[in-house]
A and B are shown apart, each in its own frame.
Chain A
C-alpha cells in the first residue's frame, strides 16, 4: 500500500513537471534557441501572408563587451525633425495613426531646459526659430529602467548591451510602463497600425522594428537591427548637422567615451536615478 502511494505520488509529480515545462512561459525573453528560431520562422510566415513580401526577422543577440550609449549635441540640433521621419521609415512605425518614437521639443533659450514651456508642435517656416533651441527625446535606455520594473508580465526588459526591448507577442497592453516612463518614450498602438506595403522596411529584428500588432506598446531600440550589426541607428545617419553620436561606452577609444569624458554632459531628469544611457551635451 505504501509503495503504491509513493509510486502514485512520484508519477503525479513527474506528470505535473512535464506539463509545467511544456506549457511554461512562452516569453521570448527566456525562449531557448530552438524555440526562438521556430517563433521567428512563424513570424516571417505571418508577415509574408500579411504584407505579401519577405520580411527578414533577425535574432542577433547582444555582442559581448558592447554597451551602447548615445549622445546628442544640443548646440548643433536645428530642430529639422529629419531624425523623426527617418526613424518612422526605418522602424516600421504606424503612419496612420502616426507613431513617432522621437519627439523634438522646442524650448526657449530664456527658460532653458524646462518641459513646462516645451512645444513639440512647433512649425515655423524655417528652423531653427529665433531665440529657441531643440531637444529631441526618445527612449533614454535607462540602466535602471522604471518601465521594466512595473511590467506585470515581464514583457519588457533591458538586454545585456543596455537596450530596453519589448516582446510584442507577450505584452498585454496594460500601459503601466507608459505611466512609469519619465520621458514619454513609450507609445501604444491604439488601433491597428498601418504601413503602406511599399514602405515596409524588410530588414527587421524580433525585439525591434518588426511590424507590431494592435494593442501593444513600442519604443526606440537604438535601431537594434542595425546597431547589433555594427551600423549606426537611422537617426544618427540622417542628422544633417552631425548632432547625434552613438557608440560602445565600454570602448575607451570610442567617440562616445570621448564626449562623455571631455564635454559638458547632462542627462534628463537626473534626480529620478534612472541612469539614462542617452546623454545631451554642448560641443560648442
Chain B
C-alpha cells in the first residue's frame, strides 16, 4: 500500500476514534448518573472479585456438591441473549424486511456486550484465572475436539469477532459516508446466523453431554435453549429500541416492534411446549431421574428453596406468552413492556439458576446441598452486568448518531439507512 494511503487511513481512523470519544463524553445528567451508577457497581464487583482471588472460590457458596452456581447460570443465560440478538438478522436480510433491517446493528452491538459478559462470567468462575493461557495454543493446549468446553471457547470467541468486525465495519464506513463492503459484510452476516444457533447449541451440549447429570442429559435441552433464547434476547432489544426512540431522533416503526413481539410469542410457545414435553416424560415414567425435576418444582423432603423460583418462572412465561400472542395486547405499549419484563425474568430464572442448581442437586451420591449465592457472588455478577451495560451504552452513544447521520467524517453524506444498505 502506498505510504500516502496509509497516512490517510490512519488519519481517518484517528478522526473516528477522537470523534467517538468526544461523543461518549457528551451527555445530559441522566447519562452521567447512569454511568456513575454502573461505575459504582463495577468498582464493587472488582473489590469483591479481588477478595475472591485472594481467598479462593470458597467465598462463594459453591462446594463440591454444587460445583457450579450463579456465575455459570448467568453465563448460560447471556449466551442465549447473544445468540438471539443476531437472529433478527434472519428476517432483515433473508426476507429483506426493512423495518427490522435498520435495527440489526443494535442486535449486533447487544451480542458483543453479551459475549463480553459471558467470557467474564467464565473467567470469574475458574479457580486459576492466572492459568487462563493454558487454553490457548501454541502456549497452552486446547482439548479439541474431545472437550465440549473447548468447542465453546472457540465458537464464543469466533462469534465475538464476527459481530465485532461487522458492526464496527458498518459504522466506520457509514461514519465516512461510504457504503459497507458487501463482499466482507454479507458472508459474515450470513455466517453469524448459523453461528448464533451454534453458540447456543454448543453451550447446551456442554451440559447435555454429561451422563452423570440426568437433568441435563436430555436431548430436548438444546432446542429448549434456543427457544428460550429467542424470547429473552429480543425482550432486551425491544426495551432498548423503545428507549432509543424516546431519547434520540432515531425512528423505529411500530410495525418492527410488533413483529418482534409476535415472533417472541411463537418462541415462548415453543419454549413452554418443550418444558411440558420434558415434564411429561419425567413425571409419567417416574424413574429415579425424576428426582431433579421434582427438586425444582416441588422440593424434596424439607428442601424447598427453589420451588418459588420454579413456579415464578412458569407463571412469568405464561403471562408473557398471553401478552404477546394477542395482537391487541402486544400493541399496547404498557402491556408490551410488561411482557418483555416477564419474559426476561422468567427466562433468567429458568435458564440461569433453574438449569444449573437442579442439574447438580441432589449431587451424584444423592446429597442435597442447598446453594444460595453469597454477597461476593452477587457483587461480582452485578459488576459484570455493569461492564456489559457500560459497553452497550458507550457503543450506542457512537452508533446512534452515526445511524442518524449526525456524526460524520465529512459533511453532507447520506445517513446510515442509505449508506449502509445502499449495496442492496
* Chain A interface residues toward B at CB < 8 A: 19-20, 23-25, 27, 97, 103, 105, 114-118, 120, 137, 146, 149-155, 170-176, 178-184, 186-192, 213-217, 272-273
Contact = CB atoms under 8 A, between A and B. Distances in A.
B360 interface: yes
Contacts of B366: 105, 114-118
Contacts of A174: 122, 125-127, 149
Given A172-B128, A182-B212, A184-B365, A191 B134 contact: no
6 closest residue pairs by CB, A with B: A173-B127, A215-B127, A115-B366, A182-B212, A190-B58, A191-B58
B365 A190 contact: no
Given A150-B149, A174-B122, A191-B55, 4 more contacts: A20-B138, A120-B365, A153-B134, A153-B135
Given A146-B212, A153-B134, A174-B126, A184 B149 contact: no
30 contacts: A24-B139, A25-B141, A115-B365, A118-B366, A149-B146, A150-B147, A150-B148, A150-B149, A150-B209, A151-B147, A152-B143, A152-B150, A153-B135, A153-B142, A172-B132, A173-B57, A173-B126, A175-B127, A176-B147, A176-B149, A178-B64, A179-B67, A179-B68, A179-B207, A182-B212, A182-B364, A184-B65, A189-B127, A191-B55, A273-B211
B327 interface: no
A120 B132 CA distance: 35
B107 interface: no
Contact of B128 (A178, A192, A216): A216
Contacts of A184: 64-65, 363-365, 367
Contacts of B134: 153, 155, 170, 172
Contacts of B64: 178, 184, 186-188
Contact of A23 (B58, B139, B149, B212): B139
A190 B56 contact: yes
Interface in B269-309: 288, 291
Nearest to B134: A153
Nearest to B143: A154
A255 to B, nearest CB: 28
A27 B141 contact: yes
A152 B141 CA distance: 8
Nearest to A152: B149
Given A172-B126, A175-B127, A216-B128, A181 B212 contact: yes
A214 B150 CA distance: 23
Interface string B92-131: 0000000000000000000000000000001001111001
B365 A188 contact: no
Interface residues of B, number: 49
Given A151-B147, A172-B135, A174-B149, A118 B365 contact: yes
A251 B207 CA distance: 39
A180 B58 contact: no
Nearest to B363: A184
A146 B210 contact: yes
Nearest to A167: B134
Contacts of A189: 56, 127
B63 interface: yes
A180 B212 contact: yes
A150 B67 CA distance: 15
Contacts of B153: 152
Nearest to A120: B367
Contact of A188 (B57, B122, B137, B212): B57
A25 B365 contact: no
Contacts of B405: none
Given A183-B364, A183-B365, A272 B132 contact: no
Contact of B127 (A103, A137, A216): A216
A179 B213 contact: yes
A275 to B, nearest CB: 13
